[in-house]
Every structure is written in structure tokens, then in C-alpha cells.
Amino acid sequence: MKFRFLFLLIFSISVGFSQTVGTTVSKNEIKIGEQIQLTLKTKVNEKDLVVFPDLDSIGKLEVVESFPPKKTKKANQIEWIKKYNLTQFDAGKYKIPSLEVVVNKKKINSESIEISVVDVAIDTTKQKMHDIKEDEVVNFKNEEKSNELTDKDVILGFLFALVLGAIFYLILRLKHRNKKKAEQYISPYNKAFLRFSEVNKHSNSKEYYSGLTEIIKSYFEKTLEFSALESTTEQFILKLKNAVAEKKFEISETTISQIEKLFTKADLVKFAKISVSEEEQNADKLVSENIISVFHKTLPTSAEEQRFALAKLVEEQKQHKYKNIRQTAFIVTFLVSIVSVVFFFGWENVTNYFNAKINGKDADYYLKKEWMVSEYGLPILQIETPEILVRDSVTSKNPNIKNISQFSWQKVSDKLSISIQTVAYKDSIKPDLKEIFNDELGNLMQLQAKKIKTTARKFKNVKDLSGDILEGTYEINDGSETKPMRFLTVFISDSYGLQTIRITHESKDKFAKNFIERVTNSLEQINQEEDE
């Protein structure tokens, strides 16, 4: 349970979304004394508390009327809308400053917008009055974060499962390590030569020869299993001969004689205190080592060796069993942790993430996401898209165009892309549909599109918005490969402006049709007077 709470604490920081504030104005240019409407919008959860600023003036603009906030439910969120009517009686350029909207005690800033107040006489005798209004994009701050999984989320989830599995593995390893292990076994042969290397040749002769005879006696006591250490030389030789006969293995009389001679010299050194040169000591040490080597080649395996060999085998089997337990515990803990991570993030989010990594972010991927409804242009064109479109830098040298704005989501070379372009004319102009289509084909050619094939038809969606469609196929170079693409462009025009909605996608994307229908059916022009 503690690990679950720790897990939730770690990932609550990186998963979720934050609220944002969108900002629009009804006009960017007004006459002295004319009113302009400022609109603030934010989407929050049902239980979130939203507080808009209540001001008498905003910057150097006077607040004529502050409307009560309104809320509408969209999908599983609440959209709050706050409107202000502003005015100014002096000509000049003014800035609507960034305003603070409080969402659950968190301050979020709106976008600042510049407007112009002009003192111009308007001749109403020459043409019909018709306000030309500039686009304003709903601004979403960079702090916005959707429920979509990121590489960071997946890496942290994997590391969490890995660390949790490693902790259980280490706990079991320490537990098994503290268990009493079998005694480390050294064979009598190896033990004898280890002791030979420790015999100090610089010690006196008595200690030197006592050391040699003790090593030999210990070796035979362990291998032939008779009491040797407390035996005299005569007793030891007799017991040795009897053990050799009993074990029924052959050993030369010469070797027995070497042992008897060595032990006799050792007795003389210990009791008669005769002196032996260093060269003779070294020679006798070599004889002792040779005696052990000769017997080692012919001696059968002793009971002690068998006992230690069996203990070693049992210990190895036990350690192998503990190792399997640790590995199984690690794998099970890791898999359980992975399942918990998937449950925490949501199965759909996880499958969408890996599907996007394997197949790329196609139409099916975005259709499963929660979409955003935003507004562009005046008259307002409302559209639903997977993400908010970003303003592009665009200009026009056409003298008949008063304002041109463009917004896009992703590049035309991506698997999917959407763009919106709004054009406001200075005067009443009848759009030439053929010229509009030619301009659209020119845009494709600028992107190095090849083998362009097009068809045209009328457009009308479920909200009775009508216009014209130019659609078709083309090919575009994607590195060393040629990628087949499709496009659909919707044109909505009248005498005072043109709105263009472009959607491109890969030809092989079988869900693109549903994607396009969702976008185009969401298109809606909202009457400004009714909205107010």
C-alpha cells in the first residue's frame, strides 16, 4: 500500500492538465466612443472554482458594462465565459493588458491585445455599412498539458516498476545471504601444500621438522582415517602399513622407507638436538611434498571428502533455488508494477501511446483523444480540432485585402494537418471561385507536390454551413521516399471575406474520412449579435 501511495504521488506531478484562459476582442479598431467587447474563456472541471476580475477600467479603457459569467457544459468539462464592454474617447493606440483569472487559487494570465481608437468620418451614402473585423486567436498558455502520455511518463512508469522489482530482489538476496552456509571445504591434499608454504625455513630445526611431520600425519589421518597425530614414529609407520593393506592400494616400499627415514631424522632433531643445514632442510621439505603427491595419486576418496562434497552439492542446489526464487520475485513484482502503471495511466492512453510510437499519430489516434472547440475570425468561425491551432506569420500585397490571418496545426508533410486562413476585404468584392482554386493549387506546388489530381463539389455540413470544396491527391517527397497524400479544402466566402479550411493526410490512413467529417461538421459561423 505504501508503494501505491508513493507511486500516485510521483506521477500526480507529471500527469493531468492545467487550466488556460482564451482571450478575444470583437474588433481591433473602433471609433471614438464606440464600444468593443472583450471576452475571456476558460475550460475547467465541474468542481473547480473560477473567479474573473471585476474592474472599473482595464488599462486605459473604461469598462462600460461587465456581464455576469456564463457557463456551458462541453464534453466532460465546463466552459466559463466572461464579457466586458469597453470604450475610449481619445484617439490613439491602446493595450488591453493581461488579466488574472483565479482557478482554484491559481492565477492564470490572459493574453494582452492592442487596439486602435480612430476619429474618422464614415460616408454611408456610397456603400452598405458592414463591419470588417480582424481575427483573434484563442490563446492557450504553454503550461497546458493534456491527458496524453509523454515519453517522460512512460520512462518514469517503467523505472518505477524496475526499481520496485529490484528492491524485492535485494531484500530476498540479503535474507538468503544471512542464512548459515556450509563450511568451505579444502581437501587434505590442498591443505597439506598450503601448510607446506607456511613452514618457516628460518625457524630452528626442531620447529621446522615438527611442522613437516605434523603436516604428513594430518594428511594420512584425514585420508586413511586412523589416529596419527598422537602416535610415535614406530606406531605411525605401523598404522600406515596396516591402513595401506586394509585399503588395498599399492604403494612402494621405497616411499614407506622415505617416510620412516624422515620421521627418524625429525626425532633426532627434536630429542638429540642435532643440527641440520638449510640446504638439507629444503631437501627434506621436497621429500615431504613428494610423499604427499605420490599417495594422493593412489588414495581412494575418504569419507570426509565425500561428506564435504555432498555438503557442497547441497549448498549449491540451495543457492540455485534461492536464486530462482529471487528472479521469480523480481519478474512477478515487475509485471505487477507494470500492470499498476497501466491501470494508473489508463489502458486507452497506454495503447494510444504505443500505437502512435509504432504506427505514428494517424487519424485513429487523434479520434480517440478529447478535442478542443475554438473560434477564429469575425463573423466567428467555430471549429473542433485535436489541438489549438497556432497563428502563422502571413502577409499579402493585394491592395483589396484589409486583413489576412492564418492558423495551423502540424505541417503539411505530417500524417495529418489542419490550417485555417481568413481574409477580410476592404470593399465589397465578388470572389472568383476559379481563381481561388488556382491559388490553392499554387500553394500545393510551392510545397513541391507532384501528380496533383483534383475534383470540386459543393459543401454543406450538419449545421447548414455551406461553401465549396476542392479535394484530391498528390505526392510529396519524404526524405528518400515518395509519400502519397490526400487533401480537402473548404472555402466559405461572401462579398466581404473568405475563410479557407485545409486538411491534409496520408492516402493510406483509413480513418481519415471520419477525422475530416468530424472537423467539417463542427464548422459553424456564430452571429456576433446573438453571441452578445
Q: What digits encode the pLDDT tens for the residues 365-422? A: 888 888 988 887 655 678 999 888 888 887 877 787 888 888 899 887 788 899 998 8
Strand order in the sheet with 113-118: 29-31, 113-118, 92-96
CA atoms within 13 A on the CB side of 386: 21
> What pLDDT, in 10s, does the model give residues 180-200?
554 566 778 888 888 888 877
At 237 the pLDDT is: 84
At 10 the pLDDT is: 40
C-beta of residue 391 within 8 angstroms of C-beta of residue 405: yes
At 484 the pLDDT is: 92
> What pLDDT, in 10s, does the model give residues 97-119?
988 888 887 888 888 888 888 87
Q: Which distant-in-sequence residues (6+ apart) come within 8 Å of 323 by Cβ?
A: none
Query: Counting runs of H as helices and runs of E as strands, what totals does the chain give?
Result: 13, 22
Name the band, by pLDDT with cuts 50, 70 and 90, for residue 474: very high
- Rounded CA gap, 251 and 293, in Å? 12
- Rounded CA gap, 341 and 333, in Å? 12
349-374 core/surface letters (b: 16 or more CB in 10 A; e: else):
bbebbeebeeeebbbbbbeebebbbb
At 513 the pLDDT is: 92
If we measure between CA atoms, which residue out of 341, 360, 249, 343 comes closest to residue 302?
Answer: 249
At 417 the pLDDT is: 92
**CA of residue 35 relative to chain centroid, distance:** 50
Name the band, by pLDDT with cuts 50, 70 and 90, for residue 269: confident
Residue in the block written with cell 465546463: 78
C-beta of residue 247 within 8 angstroms of C-beta of residue 224: yes
**Rounded mean pLDDT, 494-508:** 87
C-beta of residue 493 within 8 angstroms of C-beta of residue 467: yes
At 98 the pLDDT is: 87
Q: What is the DSSP string of 393-426?
A: P-----TTEEEEEEEEES-TTSSEEEEEEEEEES
Statement: residue 138 has pLDDT above 70: no
C-beta of residue 376 within 8 angstroms of C-beta of residue 383: yes
The predicted model scores a pTM of 0.44
- Are β-strands 29-31 and 113-118 bridged in parallel, bridged antiparallel, or unpaired? parallel
**Rounded mean pLDDT, 443-450:** 85
At 202 the pLDDT is: 56
Lowest mean pLDDT among 231-245, 346-360, 363-377: 346-360
**Rounded mean pLDDT, 341-362:** 74
Rounded to 5 degrees, φ, ψ at 235 are -65, -40
- Rounded CA gap, 122 and 119, in Å? 10
Statement: residue 136 has pLDDT above 60: no
At 266 the pLDDT is: 84
> Kindly report the CA angle at 336 between 330 and 342, in degrees rounded to 5?
135
**3 state SS of 108:** strand
Which amino acid, 415? K
Is the omega angle on the peptide bond into residue 379 within 30 degrees of 0, that is, cis? Answer: yes
Would the CATH topology of 16-121 be identical to that of 370-532?
no
Higher pLDDT, 252 or 83: 83
- Rounded CA gap, 213 and 261, in Å? 11
- Rounded CA gap, 54 and 235, in Å? 115
Residues in the chain: 532
Strands of 213-253, DSSP E: none
Q: What is the DSSP string of 21-79?
A: -EEEES-SEEETT--EEEEEEEEE-TT--EE----SEETTEEEEEEPPPEEEEETTEEE
Name the band, by pLDDT with cuts 50, 70 and 90, for residue 502: very high
- Are β-strands 61-66 and 70-74 bridged in parallel, bridged antiparallel, or unpaired? unpaired
Instruction: Tell me the fold of 370-532.
Output: Protein Transport Mog1p; Chain A (3.40.1000)
C-alpha separations of 205 from 11, 44, 59, 279, 288 in Å: 77, 97, 109, 12, 15
Architecture of domain 16-121: Sandwich (2.60)
Name the band, by pLDDT with cuts 50, 70 and 90, for residue 133: very low
Strand order in the sheet with 106-109: 50-51, 100-103, 106-109
At 210 the pLDDT is: 85
What is the residue extent of each domain of the chain? 16-121, 153-180+310-359, 188-300, 370-532
Give, as one character, the DSSP assignment of residue 377.
Answer: T
